[in-house]
Chain A
Amino acid sequence: MLGFRLLPWEYGVRNLFRRPGRSVLTLGGLTLVVLLVFVVVGFVRGLETSLAVSGDPRVVLIHSLGGGDNLENSSIPARSAALLSASLEGVQRRQGTAYASPELFLGTNVSTEGDAEPAMGAVRGITPAAILVRRRVQVIEGAWPKAGEVLVGRLASAKLGRGAAALAVGRTLAIEGQSWRVSGHFAATGSALEAELWCPLEDLQRAMKRQDISLVAVTLAPGLDAGVIDEFCKERLDLELAATPETGYYASLQKHYKPVRTLAWLMMCLVAGAGVFAGLNTMYGSVVGRIRELATLQTVGFSRRAITIGLIQEATLLAAAGAVVAAVIALLLINGAAVRFTSGAFVLRIDSVALLIGCGTGLMLGFVGALPPAFKALRMPIIEGLKAV
């Protein structure tokens, strides 16, 4: 079918064991390169996924005019929640209760027990209505916070740069100089909420000496879109409110992180480039020591194409082994590792896309690394190759 016969598979496989030291070193180098690729891709995938799943398409955030870029800067009167619940027709209701969650959201200093220095944490003051609007939130340990208590997102410890034990149920935190007992932990399907600390709204207002709130999150009634809320905000100019769909809010955050992602991909390309040189070095070493052998194979009748494919097969086999080892390490050690960033925390994700990119890069390294030495060796006339030492 190819028009020429390939070298036997065993030839390529056994050549890898010919210089075991060199093969092991190359395997280690390639594994490291692919592992770094996994870290970068896992970082980008984790960041993207975290922001992508954070928005609920049925939730609209109502905040102060101009506060849509950063909700920490938004300030609206506390009575807005009641006003909106009563006035808005597009909000989902059940047994007379509107799905509207007044929230005070801020970044502030948080200390855990024994901390010398506080860390910047994301704190959200909430009411029980939050559980109606934030459908993805699940209390996974402990209980909903009562007065003087705080419910901790499962990535909050990463955001604070503390160990999970520092935020265990029953431990105390200091937020703005006031003590809070950890009542439980929550998960939110990997969204940005998981990096937050939730405490009762009134308690937080009291601690912060604030009367206002940051936003009201409302759930749209089925079949309605955010336009209904937006229209209301534009009609009631006296309230100085604006509405942003929650998905839109997190999409705008993604734009802020575009340079980070670009930098991450650039780093991956540089790392992969270094990997190509590792592959090249190995194959040059391997081919230079076998020039006479390759010439012998040509004398016997194997075509240059067949020998080139054989050399690619060798390099690709080694690269594939490196990719597999790196994938296993990535899945065991990197996948799920928490990373903090300015507005929260997320976990590195080694998902199918990351595996595809990581392993694909590994195979590409083997393929690209084998070509120049193969061409160099096979460009040499057979009779010169046979004279090689």
Chain B
Amino acid sequence: MPLVEVRALTKEYSKGDQKITPLKDAHLDVERGDLVSLMGASGSGKSTLLNMIAGIDRPTTGNVVVDGTDITRMSRSKLAAWRAQHVGYIFQMHNLIPVLTAYENVEMPLLLLPLSSAERRKRIEIALDAVGLADRADHYPRQLSGGQEQRVGIARAIVADPAVVVGDEPTGDLDAESTEQILLLLQRLNKELGTTLIIVTHDPKTAAIARRRIRLEKGELVEAGAPILKRELQRA
């Protein structure tokens, strides 16, 4: 059973008199432990799809099932609680809380889980160690470089051991050297920890680390030049 099942997902909204459809009848399965990249031009719907998988946006029609749970019908508060346990989000701009240290930033998702402070400490140390920043735990975001900030962001995304980690242009705000480091880190996390990763990117180099590369064209999913899954489903 796939970890993420996207079925007939459509997103529509109105802008003035115009009806905009950033995502149209999308179907996608992501297996546990997969590393998927979503590419496409601006406005192709890749971030919309990612946000709906992450449970921070709602579809107009269709379903998203993650780890057996249909999240499209959940109430706002239940969805918030679900996100805390099941999704890690890596942001393009890192989005660290400036008044909290690296340690405290990584701790944020754990505060939502029923864990003792000792358990939290252990998990945070492991996460910071995994991203190579154990020695920067007491540093505030302003005391870190862009690459280090993003590594803290990744530690925050994986610390609760979520079912799926999503990244919206995780290397979009980094220089070449930092991008290299982050990509290596993401690959390591996927290979060594079996973390399921779905990454939205413009950058072919970032997309290249993925095992599956999916393109979005005008709101429709295309893999290796053909609509995916829907075609397979129709064939079946």
Contact = CB atoms under 8 A, between A and B. Distances in A.
Contacts of B89: 299-300
Nearest to A4: B77
Given A8-B104, A301-B84, A15 B99 contact: yes
Given A5-B111, A300-B156, A11 B80 contact: no
B99 A300 contact: no
A293 B115 CA distance: 24
Given A299-B54, A300-B84, A303-B80, A293 B112 contact: no
B71 to A, nearest CB: 13
A11 B100 CA distance: 7
A298 interface: yes
A18 B57 CA distance: 30
A386 interface: yes
A386 B51 CA distance: 11
A304 B81 CA distance: 11
Instruction: Name the interface size band of chain B.
Output: 20 to 34
Contacts of B219: none
Chain B CB within 10 Å — which of A18, A299, A301, A305 has the most?
A301
Contacts of A298: 56, 80
B56 A303 contact: no
B208 to A, nearest CB: 26
Nearest to A14: B99
A386 B200 CA distance: 15
Interface in A286-300: 292-293, 296-300
B53 to A, nearest CB: 13
Given A11-B97, A14-B100, A18-B98, A300 B108 contact: yes
A10 B105 CA distance: 12
A232 interface: no
Contacts of B91: 296, 386
A114 interface: no
Contact of B104 (A10, A15, A304): A10
A54 B200 CA distance: 80
A300 B112 contact: yes
Interface string B190-233: 00000000000000000000000000000000000000000000
B123 interface: no
B100 A10 contact: yes
B95 A383 contact: no
A139 interface: no
Contacts of A4: 77, 80-81
B27 interface: no
Interface in B142-180: 156
Contacts of B84: 300-302
Contact of A301 (B97, B99, B104, B112): B112
A382 interface: yes
Contacts of A293: 95, 97-98
B235 interface: no
Contacts of A5: 111-112
A8 B120 CA distance: 14
A296 B97 contact: yes
A383 B57 contact: yes
A7 B100 CA distance: 12
Interface in A344-389: 381-383, 386
Contacts of B76: 303-304
Interface string A2-35: 0011011011001101100000000000000000
Contact of B80 (A10, A17, A301, A386): A301
A303 B81 CA distance: 8
Contacts of A304: 76-77, 80
Interface string B37-57: 000000000010001001011
B112 A382 contact: no
A15 B97 CA distance: 10
B99 A18 contact: yes
Nearest to B140: A14
B83 interface: yes
B99 A382 contact: no
A11 B99 contact: yes
Contacts of B97: 11, 293, 296-297
A46 B83 CA distance: 57
B100 A302 contact: no
Interface of B: 47, 51, 54, 56-57, 76-77, 80-85, 89, 91, 93, 95, 97-100, 104, 108-109, 111-112, 156
Interface of A: 4-5, 7-8, 10-11, 14-15, 17-18, 292-293, 296-305, 381-383, 386
26 contacts: A4-B77, A7-B111, A11-B97, A11-B99, A11-B100, A15-B99, A17-B99, A292-B93, A293-B95, A293-B97, A296-B91, A296-B95, A298-B80, A299-B54, A299-B56, A299-B95, A300-B109, A300-B156, A301-B83, A301-B84, A302-B108, A302-B112, A303-B81, A305-B77, A383-B47, A383-B56
Given A14-B100, A301-B80, A304-B80, 17 more contacts: A5-B111, A7-B111, A10-B100, A11-B97, A11-B99, A14-B99, A299-B56, A300-B89, A300-B108, A301-B109, A302-B112, A303-B76, A303-B81, A304-B77, A382-B56, A382-B57, A386-B91
Q: Which 5 A-B pairs have the closest CB atoms?
A: A301-B84, A14-B99, A296-B95, A382-B56, A301-B83
